[in-house]
Amino acid sequence: MTTQIESTQRASELRDLINKYNYLYYVIDNPEVTDSEYDRLFNELKQIEHKQPELLTADSPTQRVGGRALDKFNQITHAIPMLSLDNVFNTEDLNAFDQRVRDWLNTREVQVYAAEPKLDGLAISLRYEQGILVQAATRGDGAVGEDVTVNVRTIPTVPLKLIGDDIPDVVEVRGEIIMPKAGFDALNIKQVEEGKKPFVNPRNAAAGSLRQLDSKITANRPLAIYCYGLGELIGMDKPATHSAAMKMIEKWGCQISPELELLEGVDACLRYIEQLGERRDSLSYDIDGVVLKIDNIQLQQRLGFVSRAPRWAIAHKFPAQEEMTVVEDIEIQVGRTGALTPVARLKPVFVGGVTVSNATLHNQDEIDRKDVRVGDTVIVRRAGDVIPEVVQVVMSKRPEQTVNFKIPSICPICDSEVERVEGEAIARCSGGLYCPAQRKEAIKHFASRKAMDVDGLGDKLVEQLVDEGLINDPADLFQLTVEQLSSLERMGEKSAVNLVNALDASKHTRFSRFLFALGIREAGEATTRSLASHFLTLGALNVANEDALIEIEDVGPIVAHHIVTFFHQEHNQQVIDRLLAAGVDWPEEKKIAEDSLLSGKTVVLTGTLEQLSRSEAKEKLLALGAKVAGSVSAKTDYVVAGRDAGSKLTKAEKLGITVMSESDMLAWFN
């Protein structure tokens, strides 16, 4: 009779053997045993675990079959963000990238790049602790992804336990979940036979398979993984190069791309891209480009990141797939900032793995350049996840009596005038306070801290109020009641009372703040302050023409045009009248005398003020004719230093600028 110790030892031996054979079969394509021998060992392990469930471990190969269905996917915060890559599409852009890299590194030396295919799948992060797979998360937005551990465990090429002795305490292996072409074809045949809808392409099939709440479904889908990088690493020094890191994780049992190569210089990269592009259709999986990374990890760290992308890597995308179709109509979409975008409604066509029925025409200049008309046969391009676009018109197929398309001069949403400033490509609706397409952004700006400063009215609440139909423009805010607000989800009566009080308090403002709150295009804080101090009253500003406006500092021809157009719109005037009727007011504006104490002087505030808020001090300084700047320069006249003043004070002292205390500033005001 087999003892407990013998069963434990045998189960451990079987797990190690089967994991080894999985690695040899799936990862390096060099099987050592027959299928029948593998099946015998697998079944022996299942029997032991069935008879003695306490011997079942998380890394057991028998656990790939899928478990209990989930109710939902939980969110996972990545220890190290999963960054996206910037793209290039041609030789010129790749050369420019290589030049930027060498400029940042301040070197003329040829750089060594690690190159591999850009797989068309789903990015994944596999977290191993003490060599055991404990978590798998999708990329998500780069910072937070979804926990798909139970599904990823069913994928044969994902090691449940890393191989070898030199395993770190914690390691995150980054990779791409894909569905090979052969498996995709077989899956679609099965889908059709079962009367189900076939998948559009391998990427969609992989995504749909990985995001099944029932992992048993995922287990029956032909998914695979190729690993391409490391995330968090604890208990081991990071290898000196990316290629060394890839060899290390391959040794641990992770499948890496067989196409991975080290290349010296951008010319070698271009040859690799060309050669791989020629073999693209013959590969067993879909790719949409080539990823190039600086191989040296120290250089990667020196280069760092910009926005959400590393400076040391780039994706060279292959030419987009294109198809011909017919433009059935051209419609105008109005965006949240008032931009009018023409969109071609197309006869549906299959491009790049999806059915496309709409394509952007960008703006009037692009329509004119390509001469796109309703009824035209056009070539449509779809590059990855980029919005489809019309590339060109097939003139030989143009029907008779087509007409040029022009973006309308009246907004199709609110009937306000559409303005397009000379030299700008985008046409915009001028009904900023009224236009339904812009209302959420207009109200958010109106209530923001530098505008009317409505305490407690955040972006999400504005969206909720608009969605519930309680407000349509800024003036509606002052009609809200405690009863209306307290009926909202997650809004108690106390919060409702506080918001109504905050709205009432915000009515008493300054003329410049009110003008800024109106959201006149390109009229920022400095411009609205200049308008308020020059015109003094809303009535005087209302009737000012462009010539009068241009005379003011901070106002050029374009801004003057925006101001006149804004006040010319009847819809905007109606909202302003309702705001004034609701009790919005401000103290009488007084002209700042040219001999005012701080006239023409530039003041910078730094540190914590004890007796005034920063905004109160700023308002008082402006009233004395000062310009309040955010940074110290040679043009700064005074720096007012409060408690815990930092680098601005240090810079002022180096430049010999006069430093004042808060009490000195209060003496100015007195």
In the chain, the N- to C-terminal Cα span, in Å, equals: 99
Indicate if the alpha-carbon torsion angle 186, 189, 195, 199 is positive or negative. positive
Provide the token pair at 343: 């969109």
Integer-rounded Cα Rg, in Å, for the chain is 32
The DSSP line for 325-343 is EEEEEEEEEE-TTSEEEEE
Q: Which amino acid is at 435?
A: C
- Residue 429 host element (H or E): strand 427-429
494 annotated active-site: no
Burial of 517 (0-12, 13-18, 19+ CB in 10 A): buried
Query: Do 214 and 189 touch, CB atoms closer than 8 A?
Result: no
- Catalytic residue among 20, 46, 51, 118, which? 118
Query: Do 252 and 167 touch, CB atoms closer than 8 A?
Result: yes
Q: Which amino acid is at 560?
A: A
Phi, psi (rounded to 5 degrees) for 442: -65, -40
Provide the token pair at 398: 């143009």
Q: What are the residue ranges of helices labelled H in 280-325?
A: 297-303
- Separation of alpha carbons 74 and 482, rounded Å: 36
- Separation of alpha carbons 565 and 545, rounded Å: 10
Provide the token pair at 655: 């430049």
- Residue 294 host element (H or E): strand 287-294
Provide the token pair at 292: 């190039």
Which residues are catalytic, by number? 118
